[in-house]
Structure formats: C-alpha cells, structure tokens
Amino acid sequence: MTFPKIIATMAGGFIFPFLIRLLWGKLVDNFGPIGGWLAAGFIVGTTWTLNHGVGLIYQSGAAWIDMAWAAFVGLFVASALSGDDVGKGIGMVINAILGGILGGFILYCLYV
C-alpha cells in the first residue's frame, strides 16, 4: 500500500463515523424515525459514493473491507470515550462476530 493510498483510506475511515455520530441523532430528533431514512440516503448512501463509488478506501486484498468497519470502530470508540460501558459493549461485539460469521457463511452458500 503506497503512502497516498494510506492517506486516502484513513480519510475515508474518518469521515463515515464522524458524520454518523454528529448527524444521525440530530436528524432523528428533528424528523422522528423518518430522519433515519434521510440518514440512510444522505449519510450512508452519499458517503458510500465517496468511499466505494469513487474508491477513497483502497482495497489492499481480495477480502472486501467495507466502510462499515469504520462505523463499527469509530462509533464504538466515541461511545466508550463518552463514558458508556465497554465491558457490556464487548459482549455485543461477540454477537456481531457470530452474526457476521453466520451472514458470511450464508452468502458463501449463495455465491459458491
């Protein structure tokens, strides 16, 4: 991975959780649950066009690293930093790993 690709990839990782943390809750406060639909289109959809549509996040290998990794890590760090219980969070991370194994395996069955 060359230095410019590293900078681009880190910037892509920065932007996604930054926008979610600052904007998603405010959209829901302002518009109710429909704010979640706005967030899905204009935070996730629009950030996808940057990170994967034009490819700000460089893929160094053949296993897909989605910008979802950034949302996972960035939001967990932000939540832990603002005082939420990390131990209980780790329990939910284990559930996410199990869910990810299950989902990944089912998609393997789809594509194999």
Partner 1 sequence: MKNIGSIIGFAIAGMFVMSVWGAFVEAYGIFGGWFAGLIIISIMWFMNHFLGLVANEGAFVDMAAGIAITGTLRDVFLKGVQAGIDSLPTLAFVAIGAAIGGITAVAVEKMWAERDAAISAKSKEISM
Report 73-102 residues binding partner 1 (CB under 8 A). Answer: 73-82, 84-93, 95-102
| Residues touching partner 1, count (CB under 8 A) | 83
- CA-based R_g, the chain, Å: 16
Shortest distance, CB of residue 47 to partner 1, whole angstroms?
Answer: 8
With residues binned 3-state (H G I as helix, E B as strand, rest as coil), the percentages for the chain, rounded to 5, are 80, 0, 20
CB-nearer residue toward partner 1: 1 or 30: 1
Helix/strand/coil (H/E/C) assignment for every residue in 56-88: CCCCCCCCCCCCHHHHHHHHHHHHHHCCCCHHH
Q: Is 27 in the site for partner 1 (CB under 8 A)?
A: no
Shortest distance, CB of residue 13 to partner 1, whole angstroms?
Answer: 3
Q: State which of positions 40-79 bind partner 1 (CB under 8 A).
A: 40-41, 44-46, 48-49, 52-54, 57-79
The candidate with the shortest Cα–Cα distance to 104, out of 71, 74, 73, 66, is 66
Q: State which of positions 3-22 bind partner 1 (CB under 8 A).
A: 6, 9-18, 20-22
